[in-house]
Amino acid sequence: MIKYFANPRATRDALTEGELAVVSLRAARAARAELLTWPRFAPTPLHELAQLARANGIAALLYKDESQRLGLGSFKALGGAYAAGVAIRERLAAGSAISAASLTLACATDGNHGRSVAYAARRHGCSCVVYMHESAPADKAAAIQALGALIVRTAGTYDDSVRIARAAAKQPDWLLVPDTSDDPADPTPARVMQGYGVMALELIDELETPPTHVFVQAGVGGLAAAIAGNFAEAYGARRPMCVVVEPERAACVFASAVLGHAATIDGPLDTEMAMLSCGEASRVAWPVLDRRADAFIAIDDDAAVHWTRQLRSGAAGMPLDVGVSGAAGLAGLQCALADPSTKRALGLDADSRVVVIGTEGAPPRS
């Protein structure tokens, strides 16, 4: 099953000042300059899945593999840790006798953002408290605790944990490091997205010619905005068609596209794509997606689970380390190709060169 919405507001005009304040090649390069000083930092691989491309009748299928990013298992390693480092430096530069050891970083997470913030806390010698909703995966909580952070389980959904973390971080010497906000001017989610922009730079460097399409998954929309915005600046009118993929049970960005503003959806948001289980679109990311995302699709869990298994088994030409959320972009592509009207609307054909992002690795085996 697939739900499809073509964005009537999408444009290939130059980015506005407002968009560039959130995501830009300049900001991504600044983030990369810092990340190059980190232990274990290296560009992640871009695999050509020629066998699957042939089976789909398209010219090329390129898979950006984030499963080993900084040893943290997901693209989120780029964003939260970078934004946390900036926030710590700013707090210390503000004066007084405060030290990094006296600071506590706080955030809410489905799993991967919290691990990135916990990594930053360990690097900088801070304490860290991570708020996780009651359905967030146990293996994600264990990985965060292994970095020395305190886990606080909260009732409700991810969006509830965001509000709880925001309230808790009002304590003295606490720093909130959110990857989403209901304040469009909040600088920290923008810095998180600027960290994600490092992956966009890697893709731009690795691609010989601009792709025709990029399928990118969304939770609150930060990654999708980072990819769409940086590609729009880099390629201009030649930018790829950007297709945002979400679980049908947690499609807050899809709802935003339909309504024309950052939206909140109701419901339990339960999905196998657990890292995408979000009900409130980021007010920081949305203005970029509103102009740079060409289409939005929502898929069911069965499709994501099926393509996760296919990728792990080597059906794409090589076995890939990927979790269900990580496979969502490729699953969205497969759903689009299987639906004649969506395939036609997106212009997917024998000349298409498609990029997808494997945003996270598989969970550890129990």
Catalytic residues, by residue number, are 76, 110
How far apart (Å, rounded) are the C-alpha atoms in residues 326 and 324?
5
- Cα 262 to chain centroid, rounded: 17
- List the one residue out of 230, 161, 245, 146 whose CA is nearest residue 194: 230
How far apart (Å, rounded) are the C-alpha atoms in residues 295 and 216?
11
106 forms beta bridges with: 129, 176
How far apart (Å, rounded) are the C-alpha atoms in residues 249 and 269?
5
In what helix (H) or strand (E) does residue 305 lie, and over which residues does it extend? Answer: helix 301-313
Interhelix angle 222-235/25-35, rounded to 10 degrees, is 110
In what helix (H) or strand (E) does residue 104 lie, and over which residues does it extend? Answer: strand 104-109
How far apart (Å, rounded) are the C-alpha atoms in residues 228 and 244?
9
- Classified as helix, coil or strand, 137 is coil
CB 118 within 8 A of CB 74: no
214 forms beta bridges with: 242, 355
Largest Cα–Cα distance in the chain?
A: 64
- Cα 99 to chain centroid, rounded: 31
CB 239 within 8 A of CB 231: yes
How far apart (Å, rounded) are the C-alpha atoms in residues 37 and 125?
17
What does 251-316 look like in DSSP terms, one character per residue? -HHHHHHHHTS--B--S----S-GGG--SB--TTTHHHHHHH--EEEEE-HHHHHHHHHHHHHTTT
Task: Characterize the bridge pairing of strands 60-65 and 104-109.
Answer: unpaired
Q: Which is it for the CA torsion 74, 130, 123, 95, positive or negative?
A: positive
Phi, psi for 183 (deg, rounded to 5): -105, 110
How far apart (Å, rounded) are the C-alpha atoms in residues 222 and 275?
13
